[in-house]
């Protein structure tokens, strides 16, 4: 309890620190969503980034030399998931390990149509419950931030897993406030998960990436990517899922998404 009071004060001090202008320039340059956030949300996000960068340990791997651009670009996407909520800043996470590009790992993977394969896979990111680390490929993290509407965002994906771990179980259900919320979550998520599994088995493309059919944990991470990256499409085709995620994230990304707006390529 005493520790929590000190941590709370330290974090309040960190949030109130002046934000270096070069970091703000990185946000404006690399994060397509940043300029579309309200000024209030920008301020809140910047506060969270300061705490995040002070508390998490970043490590470069595979020859990557870390710099502020990498740290700030990753932190900003991670902290987008924390807006409007009381947060303990990913308490299950200590380190973020960043590779220059995708890296190879051995794992079992879903290759579509209900077929599973075991072997080395190129990965863009990874985290696991009790690992206390999160691994990212910098090129994918940067791409996810620059193109916020392609439905793919490895940083949002991996940090959604971390939110899932906050209540100890990696089960696709993050910490919710009330029993009624858990019931509603279970009802909506299991129906949507089963629908995605059926679509995957039938080879039908949906707004959600088929990887979400792997298990409920991946479903939550994939649904989070779609929620922030393709909110209009998700709201139109999966209104119950969109409503559930909007309640959990306390945000309505339709408001700040550039999805469907004309771009100059």
Residue 185 has which token pair? 């979550």
Single out the residue of 78, 156, 221, 223 in contact with Zn ion (rule: CB under 5 A): 221
CB of 47 to Zn ion, least distance (A): 28
- 208/221 with CB nearer Zn ion: 221
Compute the residue count for the chain.
265
Helix orientation angle between 68-80 and 39-55, rounded to the nearest 10 degrees? 120
Q: What is the DSSP string of 11-46?
A: HHHHHHSPPPHHHHHHHHHH-TTGGGS-HHHHHHHH
CB nearer to Zn ion: give 200 or 218: 218
Beta bridge partners of 103: 123
Residues 133 and 93 sit within 8 Å (Cβ to Cβ):
yes
> Which window, 86-94, 216-224, 236-244, 251-259, contacts Zn ion (CB under 5 A)?
216-224
Q: How far is the CB of 230 from Zn ion (least distance, A)?
A: 18
β-pair type (57-60, 95-99): parallel
CB of 158 to Zn ion, least distance (A): 7
Provide, rounded to whole angstroms, the least separation between the CB of residue 180 and Zn ion: 28
Size of the site for Zn ion (CB under 5 A): 2
Query: x/- binding map, residues 2-41, to Zn ion, per CB under 5 A?
Result: ----------------------------------------
Q: In this complex, which beta carbon is closest to Zn ion, that of residue 41 or of residue 218?
A: 218
Q: How far apart are CA 150 and CA 26, in angstroms?
A: 21
User: Of the two residues 110 and 246, which places its CB atom closer to Zn ion in the complex?
Assistant: 110
| Residue whose CB is nearest to Zn ion in the complex, by number | 221
- Which of the ranges 2-10, 129-137, 195-203, 215-223 carries the binding residues for Zn ion, by CB under 5 A? 215-223
Token duo for residue 257: 């998404």
For residue 154, how many C-alpha atoms fall within 13 Å in the half-sphere facing its CB?
22
Give the residues lining the site for Zn ion (CB under 5 A): 218, 221
């Amino acid at each position: 309890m005493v520790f929590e009071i000190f941590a709370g004060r330290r974090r309040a001090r960190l949030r109130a620190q002046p934000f270096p202008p070069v970091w703000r320039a990185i946000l404006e340059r690399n994060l397509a969503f940043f300029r579309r956030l309200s000024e209030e949300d920008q301020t809140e996000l910047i506060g969270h980034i300061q705490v995040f960068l002070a508390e998490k340990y970043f490590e470069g791997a595979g020859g990557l030399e870390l710099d502020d651009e990498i740290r700030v670009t990753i932190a900003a996407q991670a902290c987008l998931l924390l807006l409007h909520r009381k947060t303990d800043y990913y308490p299950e996470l200590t380190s973020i390990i960043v590779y220059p590009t995708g890296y190879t790992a051995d794992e079992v993977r879903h290759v579509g149509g209900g077929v599973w394969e075991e072997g080395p896979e190129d990965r863009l990111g990874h985290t696991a419950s009790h690992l206390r680390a999160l691994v990212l490929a910098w090129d994918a993290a940067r791409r996810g931030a620059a193109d916020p509407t392609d439905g793919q965002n490895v940083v949002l994906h991996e940090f959604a897993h971390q939110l899932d771990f906050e209540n100890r179980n990696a089960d696709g259900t993050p910490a919710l406030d009330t029993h009624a919320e858990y019931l509603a979550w279970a009802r909506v998520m299991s129906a949507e998960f089963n629908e995605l599994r059926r679509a995957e088995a039938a080879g039908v493309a949906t707004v959600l990436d088929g990887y979400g059919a792997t298990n409920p944990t991946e479903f939550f991470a994939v649904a989070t990517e779609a929620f922030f990256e393709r909110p209009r499409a998700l709201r139109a085709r999966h209104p119950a899922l969109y409503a559930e995620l909007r309640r959990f994230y306390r945000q309505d990304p339709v408001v700040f998404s550039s999805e469907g707006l004309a771009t100059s390529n």
